[in-house]
Structure 1
Amino acid sequence: MKFVRYAGQSGTPALGLLRADGARIAPLPAALSADADLVDIIAAGPAALAAANAAAANAGGDIDLASVTLLAPLHAPRRNVFCVGKNYYAHAQEFHKSGFDAGSAGSAAIPDAPIVFTKAATSISGPFDPIPGYLDETNSVDYEGELAVIIGKGGRGITKAEAMDHVFGFTVVNDVTARNLQASHKQWFLGKSIDGFCPMGPAVVTLDEIESELGGVGAMRLRTWVDGELRQDTQVSDLIFDIPTLIETISKRITLQPGDVIATGTPEGVGIGFTPPKFLAGGEVVRVEISGIGFIENTVEG
């Protein structure tokens, strides 16, 4: 199942399921979710999923995808986005050498445990919304294409063996970062939490869909382009700490809740990995695509 949140000519948000052809949306009844909030369906569990599937199967009057505006599929998570730093080997090396790794001064390039931080939920924006680069007065906006995990069944003390049973699905995010703010504040929160610095979408794709379409999460391929130039290209199987490890680590002491978002980290090829750094400029277009989910594409507003 591929859940989308969209707005038609009226501007009122609604939820739907993307059809297999990728061109049509089966609208879902408003009764399944208050204010078109996908977290309501996630929290309601398997019964709500079955109801959504049945509604789509019996829906009449599919909506042409081209006639609506796609919105962030999770527009209002109950709390901050969980994020993971330095979680691909090559990126950990490039970030360590970049001079921007102020939060890990003196540490090894490859972390021996997941580096977990958060990004304000108010940074979330739609899959095709502009990135407000002008909000970073230091002119150091960078991109980070990432796979995000959406928690289905919550819990604390979740083991790696149980972890995937707690996954609802996946989406694409761009963990946009103001690098100079990240470095000068000696931590990552402010530089990553600027309004509009977390484009998300285009859909939330359920775990079973990824397994049936691709054969498993590890087969997912992540690619990022800037103005058509391929900058990032990796398989999700290259994560240093895989999804079960991340869920186990976070839930050991923090109770995960339905609808929680875990951005799993970015691969090699971010702007600060170049000499000199290739920060984003106004008018540039960043596209992040993950197989099985789709792509987001955002223009930088300078």
Structure 2
Amino acid sequence: MRLYTVEVNEKEQVAVEVTDGLMSLADLGIEVSDMNDLILRYEEIESMLLEKINNSGNVVIKDYKLLAPVTIPMQDIVCLGVNYKEHIDETAKVVDFTKKEDAVYFSKRVNRSNNPDGVIPVYDFVDSLDYEVELGVILKKDAFQVSVEDAKNFILGYTIINDVSARNIQLKHQQWYRGKSLDGYTPMGPCIVTADEIEDVYNLSIECYVNDEQRQRSNTACMITKIEEAISELSQGMTLKAGTIIATGTPGGVAMGMKPPKFLQKGDSVRCVIENIGELVNKVG
């Protein structure tokens, strides 16, 4: 399934993609307050939802605004840093992780996710605005002390995240939290694709374009720490609650790694694309 959050008549609704467009879960007779509610109840209602889709008349929503699939995450997003070798190499002169042996984790505060067509804000104290296309993973149930082999059973699905970063703020504080957590710095979407729809999560092209110039191009096969490894490691001694979102790192090609750097400017368009999920397009304003 492909799950969406939409705004209809100034009210948020959860929708599912059908043959002719998007259909509200409410119109299918399934009442959920938001995507978080669906995530928490997903295993309970999955089979009923599939049955209702198959037996519905596909009455689609006519007029809607597409929102981030998870508009307000239940917790900070957990992020995997420098999880593609080419990104490690390109940023080594700024922060050297070429000899790292273990995964690098940090978190990203998201008061509200930015919409698929939302504006990435320009702040006067940020002089080095950067983009990072990443595969996002959403958990459907609490994970504690899980094995690598069992970790896939905790995944609801996948989305696209642009881990927008203020590099000068990130480097100023010698950690990444504030420079990645400013309001508007987490575009997400366009949807959540459930795990059963992705045949091989480690064979997806992942790309980012700025004003139609390709900046990033790789494949999820190049991840250093795999998704199941991260879930398992993070869950040792720490409960990953249902609804946890994990951003799995970005490939090479970020603005900071270019010579000279080509940071985002007001008016730029950033398009993040992951195979079998879709694309996420945001203007810089």
* TM-score bracket relative to the smaller structure: over 0.9
Residue of structure 1 in register with 2:92 after alignment? 96
Q: 1:298 to 1:264 in 2, by over 3 A?
A: same
* 1:147-226 to 2 correspondences below 5 Å: 147-211=135-199, 216-226=200-210
- Does 2:245 align with 1:261? yes
Residue of structure 2 in register with 1:39 after alignment? 36
Contact 2:16 2:25 in 1 (8 A): yes
Contact 1:27 1:56 in 2 (8 A): no
**TM-score, normalisation: structure 2:** 0.95
3-state DSSP of counterpart to 1:217: coil
Q: 1:33 to 1:135 in 2, by over 3 A?
A: farther
Q: 1:121 to 1:138 in 2, by over 3 A?
A: closer
1:138 shift after superposition: 2.6
1:114 shift after superposition: 0.9
Residue of structure 1 in register with 2:129 after alignment? 141
* 1:51-70 to 2 correspondences below 5 Å: 51-60=48-57, 62-63=59-60, 67-70=63-66
Task: Out of 262-271 and 108-117, give the one that drifted further.
Answer: 108-117
1:246 shift after superposition: 0.8
Residue of structure 1 in register with 2:107 after alignment? 118
Contact 2:73 2:112 in 1 (8 A): no
Alpha-carbon deviations, 1:261-296, whole Å to 9, x = none? 000000000001111211100000000011111010
Count residues in correspondence: 284
1:27 shift after superposition: 1.5
**TM-score, normalisation: structure 1:** 0.89
1:52 shift after superposition: 2.1
Q: 1:52 to 1:283 in 2, by over 3 A?
A: same
Residue of structure 2 in register with 1:12 after alignment? 11
Q: Please give the root-mean-square deviation of Cα atoms over the aligned residues, in Å.
A: 1.7
- Identify unmatched segments of 5+ residues in structure 2: none
**2:73 and 2:213 mapped to 1: Cα distance?**
32
- Does 2:236 align with 1:242? no
Moved over 4 A (4+): none
**1:221 and 1:110 mapped to 2: Cα distance?**
26
1:247 shift after superposition: 0.5
**1:24 and 1:218 mapped to 2: Cα distance?**
28
- Report percent identity of matched pairs: 34
